[in-house]
């Protein structure tokens, strides 16, 4: 790609970000430092087996739903274990995310969290960032009445490959948004553009080479995005 074309598309991406009506963030390794499912697996004593499947899923060698199913059937966490994880090892916010979300809210830009992770963990993160819970899209764990693991809600769009794009299309329809931006570290975030009008790759916690190569705008700190919002 000629460098002047890359510069033009970079400045267009920045302009779309400044004009955005809504910004959607991935959660694991973007808004928070860790991968929620890997933390849950470690907490339940099956960390290594699950990390291996996560790696395969990220590499694209199995569908997202298959990978999710396989990992959860190894973890088989109870409701009690999930609650204890959140209490004992609360998700660690990535530096700068709180300030960025506050600034977006001040600019009247709606903020959504779209995650292939678990709603119980993502809601905890949303509360810390003053993001309304109806702006959270994530996978729902299911438990039997005695609290034992009973699977996950396979009907959620976030349980599918391409699910983040489906959520963005739905939000565009529901709120009549013209301009939406997706921010994240992974391939599933990159794939959500389109329907997102722009994608910003985030490498502050982990750099995924295939995302870095394809993102028109790639940042390693949320400070870079804050600086751009100062131009509004």
**For the domain that residue 219 is a member of, what is the CATH number?**
3.40.50.1000
What pLDDT is stored for residue 138 in this prediction? 93
How many independent structural domains does the chain possess? 1
Gap between the Cα atoms of 216 and 213, Å rounded: 8
174 within domain boundaries:
yes
43 within domain boundaries:
no
- For 2-36, letters b (16+ CB in 10 Å) and e give eeeeeeeeeeebbebbbebbbbbbbbbbbbbbbbb
What pLDDT is stored for residue 137 in this prediction? 93
Q: Which of 88-92, 112-116, 181-185 comes out lowest in average pLDDT?
A: 88-92
Domain residue limits at 186 = 10-34+91-230
Catalytic positions, written as ranges = 26, 28
- Compute the average pLDDT of residues 53-59: 69
- Compute the average pLDDT of residues 111-124: 90
What pLDDT is stored for residue 98 in this prediction? 93
Chain centre to alpha carbon of residue 100? 15
Query: In the beta sheet, which residues pair with residue 180?
Result: 22
Beta pairing, strands 180-184 & 198-202: parallel
83 within domain boundaries:
no
Q: What is the residue whose two structure tokens read 């267009």? A: 12
pLDDT, greater one: 212 or 201: 201
Confidence of residue 2 (pLDDT cuts 50, 70, 90): very low
Confidence of residue 136 (pLDDT cuts 50, 70, 90): very high
What pLDDT is stored for residue 59 in this prediction? 63
Beta pairing, strands 180-184 & 22-25: parallel
Confidence of residue 67 (pLDDT cuts 50, 70, 90): confident
CA atoms within 13 A on the CB side of 84: 11
Q: Which residues contact 39 (CB under 8 A, 6 or more apart)?
A: 85, 89, 91
39 within domain boundaries:
no
pLDDT over 50 (residue 85): yes
- Compute the average pLDDT of residues 37-65: 79
- Compute the average pLDDT of residues 172-186: 90
């Amino acid at each position: 790609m000629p460098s002047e074309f890359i510069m033009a598309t970079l400045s267009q991406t920045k302009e779309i970000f400044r004009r955005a009506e809504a910004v959607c963030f991935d959660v694991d390794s973007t808004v928070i430092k860790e991968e929620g499912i890997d933390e849950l697996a470690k907490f339940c004593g099956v960390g290594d087996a699950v990390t291996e499947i996560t790696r395969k899923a990220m590499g694209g060698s199995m569908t997202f739903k298959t990978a999710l199913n396989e990992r959860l059937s190894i973890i088989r966490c109870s409701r009690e274990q999930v609650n204890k994880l959140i209490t004992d090892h609360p998700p660690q916010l990535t530096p700068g995310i709180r300030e960025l979300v506050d600034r977006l809210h001040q600019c009247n830009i709606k903020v959504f969290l779209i995650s292939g992770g678990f709603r119980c963990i993502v809601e905890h993160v949303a509360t810390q960032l003053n993001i309304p819970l109806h702006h959270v899209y994530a996978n729902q764990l299911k438990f039997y009445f005695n609290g034992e693991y009973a699977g996950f809600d396979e009907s959620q769009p976030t349980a599918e490959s391409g699910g983040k794009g489906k959520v963005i299309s739905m939000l565009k329809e529901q709120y009549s948004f013209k301009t939406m931006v997706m921010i994240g570290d992974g391939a599933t975030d990159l794939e959500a553009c389109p329907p997102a009008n722009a994608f910003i790759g985030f490498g502050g916690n982990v750099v995924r080479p295939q995302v870095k190569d394809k993102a028109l705008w790639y940042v390693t700190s949320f400070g870079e995005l804050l600086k751009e919002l100062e131009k509004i």
